[in-house]
Amino acid sequence: MEINNIESIHPDTLPLPVTMNDQFKKNLNWFKENRNKISRYENNWIAIYSQEIAAFSSNPYELEKQLKAKAISLDDTVIQYLVDSNCIF
């Protein structure tokens, strides 16, 4: 869908929202519950699969390569950049 200006957007013409499968939801909940326990991965991209850190890298493209090498489904995986917990926004 091409959008030329914000006024042309109508809710009925937008794509359906993305749905999360059960495995993705479990991984997302694991991340929320364990954020304070994974500080050693700060300043890196992490991939959470099967409720554990499946891969990490400072480079998101390298992270994707690692996941493909392990044949891990991106649909089930939570990918998140962990900022430094001491960072003030």
Summarised one tens digit per residue, pLDDT across range 33-83 is 998 899 999 999 999 999 999 999 999 999 999 999 999 999 999 999 998
| Count of beta carbons in the 10 Å neighbourhood of residue 76 | 18
Report the sign of the C-alpha dihedral through residues 17, 19, 28, 56, in that order. negative
Which positions ≥6 away from 14 have C-beta within 8 Å?
1
Residue 23, both tokens? 């495995």
State the residue for tokens 């890298």: 57
Q: What is the pTM of this model?
A: 0.74
Q: Are strands 44-49 and 52-57 parallel, antiparallel or unpaired?
A: antiparallel
